[in-house]
Homo-oligomer: A and B are copies of this chain.
Amino acid sequence: MVQIPKPPTPASAAVGSVPTSADVARLAGVSRATVSYVLNNTSAVRISEPTRRRVHEAAKELGYVPHAAARSLRAGHSRMVLMPAPTIPVGPLYSQFLSDLQGALGRLDYTVVQYGAVGTHGDEAARAWAELRPVAVLVPGSGLGPQGVAVLKRSGARAVVTLGPETVEGAHALLMDHTAVGRAAAAHLRARGRSRIGVVVPAEPGLEVFSRPRLHGVRHAVHGTGGTGATVIELPLAYDEDDAARLAARWRGLGLDAVFAYNDEYAMLLMRALMDAGVDIPGDTAVIGADDLMLGRLLRPRLSTVHIDLPSGRDLAELVDRAVRDPAAPPERREVLGATVVPRESS
């Protein structure tokens, strides 16, 4: 059988050298500026339909793709919204929120880039983010300080928005006040007549940013109401069956009649260990989680929980867009976390 060699195509001929807009201009017989106007859809310059077509065809033939960084260097700004990837394990609720937010920013024509800066923190990380010259930065968690915000703004970021427990000078703040979660859980347990309340604090590193304010919220709700003999006890717990069994084994000695288990996953872990140790739920101990995950409804007894309302991705995307359009506006500050108890059978 005779093999017929294929003629070289423009694509295979170009292997090894990246086609540039100059190549496109040469093939189309136009200037580089015209190529740029056509491919970036600039409406400010009138270019005839046949010329446009010739440029598009030449770009297609050569396999030319515009260079986003070069374009933003020329334009002096980008449409890149940078979201540093959270350095802590996030649950399904927060993952869904981040994904909605990214979708909403995408529909407003921003390019959302998640950037995992491993091993850097706070203001040092801000320098690494600034190198990417984003038009806006959305920072989940805590750690960024006023200096980091200033670095980002000097590098051209029109808006810095933090998502976390506190405000940072110079940045817009979407305040997520997790003390509200603890307050709601404690108020529910007190209303059920419970007075010796354990609060699970995960041993896993990185979760303190949520667990500390939740614990603080419980203390505040219990002691703020006069403190009629009620107590709050902190219960460190690793997300692991053995640790849960150890805690369950010394449960009766703790004399607790209720526990706020940080979230639904830790609640499932602890509730199982308590039941295996013969503790009656909710008779001996009332249990409440947080996050309102599906799994809580599947447990027996059904798990009481604190439902957490996060803002819609669309609302937040609009806030970012407003901030980008008006970089001189004073920082906005919004409480975005709602906490509502969903009472079920475990409390």
Which residues of A from 23 to 71 have beta carbons under 8 Å from B? Answer: 63-71
User: Is there contact, CB below 8 Å, between A132 and B268?
Assistant: no
Proximity bits, A101-128, B CB within 8 Å = 1, else 0:
0110011000111111111000000010
User: Is there contact, CB below 8 Å, between A11 and B154?
Assistant: yes
Contact of A116 among B63, B103, B118 (CB under 8 A): B103
The interface size of chain A toward B, counting residues with CB under 8 Å, comes to 55
- Most chain B CB within a 10 A radius of its CB, from A19, A68, A71, A118: A118
- Say if the beta carbon of A130 comes within 8 Å of chain B: yes
- Say if the beta carbon of A295 comes within 8 Å of chain B: yes
- Say if the beta carbon of A337 comes within 8 Å of chain B: no
- Say if the beta carbon of A203 comes within 8 Å of chain B: no
| Contact residues in B for A106 (Cβ distance below 8 Å) | 116-119
User: Is there contact, CB below 8 Å, between B294 and A151?
Assistant: no
Proximity bits, A150-189, B CB within 8 Å = 1, else 0:
1101111000000000000000000000000000000000
| Contact residues in B for A71 (Cβ distance below 8 Å) | 131
User: Is there contact, CB below 8 Å, between A69 and B65?
Assistant: no
Q: What is the bound-complex CA distance between A301 and B66, given in angstroms?
A: 57
User: Is there contact, CB below 8 Å, between A269 and B294?
Assistant: yes
Supposing A106-B118, A133-B68 touch, asked if A154 and B112 sit within 8 A by C-beta, the answer is no
| Contact residues in B for A73 (Cβ distance below 8 Å) | 67, 69-70, 73
| Contact residues in B for A64 (Cβ distance below 8 Å) | 154
User: In this complex, what residue of B is CB-closest to A132?
Assistant: B68
User: Is there contact, CB below 8 Å, between B298 and A69?
Assistant: no
Proximity bits, A1-29, B CB within 8 Å = 1, else 0:
00000000001001100110000000000
- Say if the beta carbon of A297 comes within 8 Å of chain B: yes
| Distance (whole angstroms) from the CB of A309 to the closest CB of chain B | 20
User: Is there contact, CB below 8 Å, between A69 and B66?
Assistant: no
Q: What is the bound-complex CA distance between A96 and B70, given in angstroms?
A: 34
A-to-B contact residues, CB < 8 Å = 11, 14-15, 18-19, 63-73, 85, 89, 95-96, 99, 102-103, 106-107, 111-119, 127, 130-133, 150-151, 153-156, 239, 241, 265, 268-269, 272, 294-295, 297-298
Q: Name 22 A/B residue pairs within 8 A (Cβ), A-sorted.
A: A11-B154, A15-B154, A18-B156, A64-B154, A65-B127, A66-B131, A67-B133, A69-B132, A73-B73, A103-B116, A106-B119, A107-B118, A107-B119, A111-B115, A113-B114, A114-B114, A239-B294, A241-B297, A241-B298, A268-B298, A269-B298, A272-B298
Ranked nearest first, the 9 interchain pairs of A and B with the lowest CB-CB distance are A69-B69, A106-B118, A114-B114, A68-B131, A65-B130, A63-B154, A102-B116, A272-B298, A18-B156
**A15-B153, A112-B116 known; 6 other A-B pairs, CB under 8 Å?**
A18-B155, A18-B156, A64-B154, A68-B69, A69-B132, A112-B115
